[in-house]
Amino acid sequence: MTIHFFDYMENITGVRLNEVQKQAVVHTEGPLLLLASPGSGKTTTLNMKIGYLLLEKKVSPERIMAVTFSKAAARDMSERFDRFFSSVTDEKVHFSTIHSFAFKVVRESFRKEKQDFQLIEGTIDEAELKKGWDGPDVPLHKKFILKKLYEDENGRQVSEDDLDELMTYITLVKNRMMTGRELEKVPCRVTKAADIYRQYEAFKKQNPDKLLLDFDDMLTYCHEILLKDESLLSKYQHQFEYLLTDESQDNSLVQHEIVELLARPGNNICVVADDDQSIFKWRGSEVTKLLQFEKTYPKATVLTMSQNYRSTQEIVKASNQFIKRNEHRYPKEMFTENSSGPPVQLTGLKTYDEQLKHVVEGIRSSHGEVAVLYRNNSSAVPLADQLNKAGIDFYMKDIDAKFFKHWVVEDMLNFMRFSYNLSRVDVFERIHTKCNAYVSKAQIAFLKRTDIKNSLFETLLDHDIPSYQQKVLPKVEKRFKELNQLEPKKAIRTIRQHLGYDAAIKKLSEKFGFNLEHLMGILDVLETIAEGLGSLRDFAVRLKELEHLIQTSKFNKNKSKLTLSTFHSAKGLEYDHVFMIDLINGVVPSQDDIDRFRQKDTEAMEEAVRLFYVGMTRARTNLDLVTYQYKGNERVSESMFVANVRKIVQRNEKKKAVLADGNALQEEDVELGVLVKHRKFGRGVIAEYGGSSIGIQFDEAGYKELMLEVCLENGLLMKN
């Protein structure tokens, strides 16, 4: 009957499963960990497994729980299921996220307990964010609450970067179910993050009649409810006889715990995952749970789907060898029966600007679907600028226009605005601590009360001021007067170097724990955008145009052949031609990854390796890894990952050449007594052979014990 099912489905869908996929489909009783390499057909296999449960095992769809990581993935699985099975069954299996299931449990429990609640996630506009604690209509929104708690705790306004970092920290500690002293041990650049988190949790519970819930609370409350309410847990355990989870490497500790509770006592659970693609540690994903699967389920079956149906031989071999850098992983050998293609391209350029030109030219000449992948969203802004100038449309996977609202961008524009009118105290007040004029708050207050005719610097010089200011202010005034006559790129350089902006933000970063690398990166991006523009007004206009361009790029989905995406958001997708850009140390891997690695903490570096691997395995036929030596005037170094891939590619090319040489000794030729010729030691006979070594008695050099793999890979031994 099982054979009939596979033949029948192949006839209906055109899909032929390989042997491992078939084993995964028919394994329905007991725990199964299905390790699925990139492009190995996991979604197809999972859908076939559901079809097998429905059609062969006659399981009611209500008794199957199919969970995936995101709404988009759930939608994709549902659409594919309909394509496969709509012609043979009217039954529908509900695909959902763990979040949506958790919310269902929370609602049901709270309704039973007559507990009212309010969700505090979603969008909030700038006007709402600026409201105070007192007065009517205080917005009960996560961002607003955290903003106010931060400002009360630290006595200063929170930046967008710090607010994002704080929210990421909260998601991490809640998804990892951390409490007490553990909270302080989690790295976070936000001052007093653990204290703010505790206050946030207390604030949400201060009105017991109406609890406030964010998205992470859905998971933690669901977990607590299932542990405490045996009847509710039993209800769902009996309802869902079969549990299937996709992309399980992305699940957090609390999500894994929820799934494990639901699977009991039968443990008819199929976990589909790839530990090599676990890249969301920063928001709580827990790959350790996968690596301990057989400890959690002693009778578990582990199957590995290693055949890649997506990529060429060259891309699969390079990716497979690259991921072996990591020690903490399930051993896998990804392979493909696809044809050979172009070698993996490693493009080393002199400057960042050359990288942009190379990518634009490469996109123009490429066919099929193209993706440009990067680690940080800020990489997309100068790229969008160049693509727009080249007349190339694009779709941006993660629309993130926060760049244009960043305080560093606002600072640059304020420097420029002030240069047009040196009497604008309101503008100068925003930047006076970030230039080397050494103007105090008291002096700003004085200037606000004074009728300034021409220049606030002249006004200050006409009054009693310290001697150092008498020397400094005329120089600063001169710089500002010259500023609006400069081309925008030179103006930004002047602000950074001669007006002291770089030095100022270095001090701010040291004082408040800002990410200096990120801030400097924003300034570099602004310089790239400013290239070739004639006036400061042109620069301001161009920023507005780019913001609009990026925000409207979402309308190009399914229209443009080109996608711009972070590595994180590209997971699960595939393209004919992939460019991976900004591959320099400090970006991929990040400086934090490198610093932790030097301190013998390998966890962050292993995740960076997985992230790079995810990028590589998005490519079907063409993969181009792009690096450079200079970003602006700063010397940068090629990513250690690129250097690693280069060695792999060179080794593979050498191996290919050896295999092409019909006279080179191959592994199947190795036997005792076989006559061989070594490139250095001359003629000899194989005297011993076992394990990784080979012993050869040479006519002139005597007996030598050699590493067999090295000899074969490098073509050192020839048939005699």
Q: What is the CATH number of the domain that holds 238?
A: 3.40.50.300
422 belongs to a structural domain: yes
665 belongs to a structural domain: yes
Query: pLDDT grade, residue 375 (50/70/90)?
Result: very high
460 belongs to a structural domain: yes
Q: Where among 213, 234, 254 does a domain terminate?
A: 213
Q: Decide if 289 contacts 9 (C-beta within 8 A).
A: no
For residues 608 and 644, membership in a common domain is answered with yes
CA dihedral sign, ordered 318, 324, 326, 332: positive
> And the tokens for 142?
């996560």
108 belongs to a structural domain: no
For residues 516 and 380, membership in a common domain is answered with no
For residues 382 and 428, membership in a common domain is answered with no
Omega of the bond leading into 589 within 30 degrees of 0 (cis): yes
Query: What span, in angstroms and rounded, lies between the C-alpha atoms of 491 and 484?
Result: 7
- pLDDT of 126: 63
Query: What span, in angstroms and rounded, lies between the C-alpha atoms of 329 and 276?
Result: 7
Q: Write out the residue range of the structural domain in which residue 156 sits.
A: 121-213
For residues 517 and 577, membership in a common domain is answered with no
Q: Decide if 158 contacts 147 (C-beta within 8 A).
A: yes
Those residues whose C-beta lies under 8 Å from the C-beta of residue 531, and which sit 6 or more positions away, are 353, 489
> And the tokens for 126?
């700038």
Model-level pTM?
Answer: 0.84
Q: Measured between alpha carbons, how far apart are the two ends of the chain, in Å?
A: 55
For residues 177 and 300, membership in a common domain is answered with no
- For 106-124, what is each residue's pLDDT tens digit? 999 999 999 999 998 877 6
For residues 356 and 385, membership in a common domain is answered with yes
For residues 77 and 147, membership in a common domain is answered with no
For residues 35 and 95, membership in a common domain is answered with yes
- pLDDT of 128: 62
- For 129-176, what is each residue's pLDDT tens digit? 566 666 566 678 888 889 889 988 888 888 888 888 899 999 999 999
Query: What span, in angstroms and rounded, lies between the C-alpha atoms of 237 and 685?
Result: 66
> And the tokens for 478?
């001169």
- CA dihedral (626, 631, 632, 636) in degrees, to 10, reads -140
Q: Is 347 helix (H, G, I), strand (E, B) or coil?
A: strand
Q: Position of tokens 């039968």? A: 266
| Domain count of the fold of the chain | 5
42 belongs to a structural domain: yes
For residues 694 and 636, membership in a common domain is answered with no
For residues 284 and 246, membership in a common domain is answered with yes
Q: Is 127 a residue whose pLDDT tops 70? A: no
- pLDDT of 3: 67
- % helix / strand / coil in the chain, to the nearest 5? 55, 15, 30
Query: What span, in angstroms and rounded, lies between the C-alpha atoms of 418 and 406?
Result: 18
Query: What span, in angstroms and rounded, lies between the C-alpha atoms of 285 and 256?
Result: 9
For residues 509 and 453, membership in a common domain is answered with yes
For residues 96 and 240, membership in a common domain is answered with yes
Residue of 232, 279, 227, 223 lying closest to 256 (CA atoms)? 223
- For 478-520, what is each residue's pLDDT tens digit? 999 999 899 999 999 999 999 999 999 999 888 887 888 888 8
**Alpha-helical regions (H) of 599-714:** 603-616, 640-660, 708-713
552 belongs to a structural domain: no
Residue of 286, 287, 344 lying closest to 315 (CA atoms)? 344
243 belongs to a structural domain: yes
